[in-house]
Structure 1
Amino acid sequence: MLSLDEIVGLLKASGEPTRLRLLALLAEGDLSVKDLTAILHQSQPRISRHLKLLYESGLVERLPEGAWVYYCLTRDEAKGDLIAAALRHLDRQDAMILRDRDRLKQIKQANAQQATDYFRQNAEHWDELRLMHVPESAVEQAILDALGDIEIDQLLDLGTGTGSILSLLADRCRGGLGLDSNRSMLAVARARLDGPDHGHLHVQQGDLLDLATLDRKFDFITIHQVLHYLDDPSAALQEASRVLQPGGRILVVDFAPHDHEFLRKDHAHRRLGFSHDVMRRWMHDAGFEVALARDLQAQGLDGEMAADPLTVTIWLAEKAEGPASEGTASEGA
């Protein structure tokens, strides 16, 4: 519940055209200051000033990532309900709102195209590029350790890339499907999985943010080094939850927070890693309970500790049988 003064303060904070437009855009997913500046066609200082007021009022939250900051709507239930009520009555056909949504769509398409172009150019050398981040052999062993004696009936690998995870878990599942939007990547994956031991594994083109076309449920889902390419990683977890059986498990592998800005420019990364707190919150919102969170620190090619290491984190979570509830996560080192 909110007090009278709190509600008055929230209404004052949101009761301005630019700030209401910002709240409407953030209802579509996390966005950076750069994104919001481009959409609203206003100066960066002006947008930052409005976001500061929304943040101080508790209507939005900040997600710092290196030199960038992403913003999202508050996770506070009472404040979130107040925002939702206001936006529910906002005319979505209003000319300004339509223009904002159109620019948002253009930015997301441009970001997706950048990632697609990058994947196409690097598909054949994808596994070599991953050596810059962390030894893949160490990640694969950590994945197998995390799985333990878990038996997999139907595996879904989202953003399968070159099919490395399907190949790794080939003898651990009865059937496996890899989904990727990039045909160049799928061509490499098909070549990798062309053999008698992989007859139960298949790949197909698809969008991990739209799994409505899948005709079956899965009991295990993997998302390996994919979320940092997405504008809204939490949306991928929500969509994965839709096709995961109750009691099924999801395994996410991605970077811990870092400051390597060159990965945005040169390697199409949209997010500079994810903290344990952020991932747990997203998992919880998607109906998962985190069971394991393990950090793997990168090493140099000579086996020595890298000077400025990228850390890879493995999260293993289970889909709740009922309504989403707070997980009782345990962390490994």
Structure 2
Amino acid sequence: MERRKEGSWVFLALGDENDLEPIFAALDHWRRYHEEDDDEMGRADRQRLQAVRNVRMGEAEDWFEVHAAEWDAIRSLHVSEESVESAIVKLVGDGPLGRVVDIGTGTGRMLELLAPQCESAIGFDRSPSMLRLARVKLEENRTADGEEIKLRQGNFYALPLAAGSADLTILHQALRYAQHPAAVIAESARILSPGGRLLVVDFALHDREELRTRDAHMYLGFSDDRMKQWFEAAGLEADPPVSLDGELTVKLWMGRLPLDQQSRVT
């Protein structure tokens, strides 16, 4: 068993699947037997599972109700989420995306959107509350290979992944919360395989100071020149940025690690 702590929560997961195949076979046999016979114990287990899911869904709905005004206040200043997501899908392409890592995953929306194109998908966030919300959202989602989407607590300055372990890394509306965005860019590039891509989605430079005081934005957007400098320092080649204009302009910056190189951060 693998044990992972997030805040006051402890999550247990199965270890190496190759060592557990006999257990899986026995559990499948047990499940089929109890479903066919409508066994009382099986019914009770299914009812308890549904009760747990209902509680989690209720907690997620409560959180969004409390924070809805905050989210709406920001969203009203820029183009619709649908427009942003459409631009993201167009930029990454409709082909296989390989191993995708969403850094600062929040509610897991990017993983939900792109999972059907992923070989594997994992999201990191420092907030246990956000991870619990993401688990509710992504419970039924699977990758193109039928894998569950993984969610982990993690720091975007030090991801627990080896160099070259990702084909696409994403910072969706997350970089503005970093005190040292250049370090986050470098760490996101470190885990890319040659030919891999980093997608940053965030605001262009703006002067909405209330977002710093009310919403804890460390940076009031970013310039194209600064983003290009950070990409190049991390060994990435910058594509032309995409702009989605509004009272707050949303920018999509894509950086690529050349096929014949490794990230400059080791």
Q: TM-score range by the shorter chain?
A: 0.5 to 0.7
Q: Distance in 2 between matches of 1:122 and 1:285?
A: 41
- 2:187 aligned with 1:226, yes or no? no
- 2:106 aligned with 1:161, yes or no? yes
Contact 1:174 1:200 in 2 (8 A): no
List per-residue Cα deviations over 1:101-157 (Å, max 9, x = no partner).
xxxxxxxxxxxxxxxxxxx99986476455234211110000011112442111000
Q: TM-score, normalised by structure 2?
A: 0.68
Q: Which sections of structure 1, spanning at least 5 residues, go unmatched? A: 1-119, 299-308, 326-333
Q: Distance in 1 between matches of 2:72 and 2:132?
A: 17
Q: What is the one-letter code of the residue matched to 1:322? A: Q
Q: Which sections of structure 2, spanning at least 5 residues, go unmatched? A: 1-62
From 167, 174, 180, the counterpart of 2:125: 180
Q: What is the one-letter code of the residue matched to 2:240? A: L
Which SS does the other structure have where 1:292 is aligned? coil
Post-superposition offset of 1:277:
0.5
Instruction: Sort the Cα spacing of 1:265 and 1:180 in 2 relative to 1 into closer, same or farther, 3 A.
Output: same
- 2:85 aligned with 1:140, yes or no? yes
Q: TM-score, normalised by structure 1?
A: 0.55
**Runs (4+) off by over 4 Å:** 120-124, 126-130
Q: Distance in 2 between matches of 1:282 and 1:123?
A: 36
Post-superposition offset of 1:315:
0.8
Instruction: Sort the Cα spacing of 1:294 and 1:187 in 2 relative to 1 into closer, same or farther, 3 A.
Output: same
Which SS does the other structure have where 1:142 is aligned? helix
Q: How many residues align?
A: 195
List per-residue Cα deviations over 1:206-265 (Å, max 9, x = no partner).
111001x22570111010011111111010011111111111011110100000000010
Map 1:75-90 onto structure 2 (within 5 A): none
Alignment partner, residue 311 of structure 1: 249
List per-residue Cα deviations over 1:15-65 (Å, max 9, x = no partner).
xxxxxxxxxxxxxxxxxxxxxxxxxxxxxxxxxxxxxxxxxxxxxxxxxxx
Q: Distance in 2 between matches of 1:276 and 1:266?
A: 25
Q: Distance in 2 between matches of 1:296 and 1:280?
A: 18
Which SS does the other structure have where 2:241 is aligned? strand
Root mean square deviation of aligned Cα:
2.3
Q: What is the one-letter code of the residue matched to 1:265? A: T
Alignment partner, residue 44 of structure 2: none
Q: Distance in 1 between matches of 2:71 and 2:203?
A: 16
Alignment partner, residue 185 of structure 2: 237
Percent identity for Structure 1 against Structure 2: 37
